[in-house]
């Protein structure tokens, strides 16, 4: 599957992408690139889609980290891979090789990058 995420020149120092529903292996109402573990989509399709996103960045699927989004101000600081999806709407890390992923429908994805501190962040912004 070929993925063509949107990128920004403002974040050219860090690998990133705003993925659309284009591509992916989900069908029916989830047709396309559904990466939501909490959706009603087939788990094998979601895992395939998540693996494709991670592969885009040249990483294994378990490097793609996401949280259980709750429309809150909670932020998860990642120093190691998550073993479960904590309730939060943003993540930050200074750990190399970690892929941060947030899901959106009618909300806005926000990416952060501090080149000096070598920190990245991703947030699900909206209510």
* Residue 85 lies in domain: 9-125
pLDDT of residue 121: 97
| 93 part of a folded domain | yes
Rounded percentage of the chain residues whose pLDDT exceeds 70? 100
pLDDT of residue 81: 87
| 88 part of a folded domain | yes
As a whole number of angstroms, the distance between CA 80 and CA 96 comes to 10
Q: Judge contact between 11 and 113, C-beta under 8 A.
A: yes
pLDDT confidence tier of residue 126, bands split at 50, 70 and 90: confident
Question: Quick one: average pLDDT of 27-56?
Answer: 96
What residues have CB less than 8 Å from 41, skipping those under 6 apart? 26, 30, 34
Q: How many domains does the chain have?
A: 1
In the block, tokens 């378990």 appear at 62
| 64 part of a folded domain | yes
pLDDT over 80 at 1, yes or no? no
Q: Are strands 119-125 and 90-93 parallel, antiparallel or unpaired?
A: antiparallel
Question: Which CATH number is 25's domain given?
Answer: 3.60.140.10
SS (H, E, C) 87-100: ECCEEEECCCCCEE
């Amino acid at each position: 599957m070929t993925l063509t995420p949107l990128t920004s020149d403002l974040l050219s120092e860090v690998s990133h992408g705003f993925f659309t529903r284009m591509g992916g292996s989900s069908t029916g109402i989830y047709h396309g690139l559904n990466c939501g573990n909490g959706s009603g989509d087939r788990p094998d399709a979601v895992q395939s889609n998540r693996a494709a996103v991670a592969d885009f960045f040249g990483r294994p699927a378990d490097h793609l980290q996401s949280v259980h989004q709750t429309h809150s101000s909670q932020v998860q600081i990642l120093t190691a891979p998550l073993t479960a999806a904590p309730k939060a709407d943003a993540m930050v890390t200074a750990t190399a090789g970690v892929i941060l992923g947030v899901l959106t429908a009618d909300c806005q994805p926000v990416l952060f990058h501090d080149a000096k501190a070598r920190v990245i962040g991703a947030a699900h912004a909206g209510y």
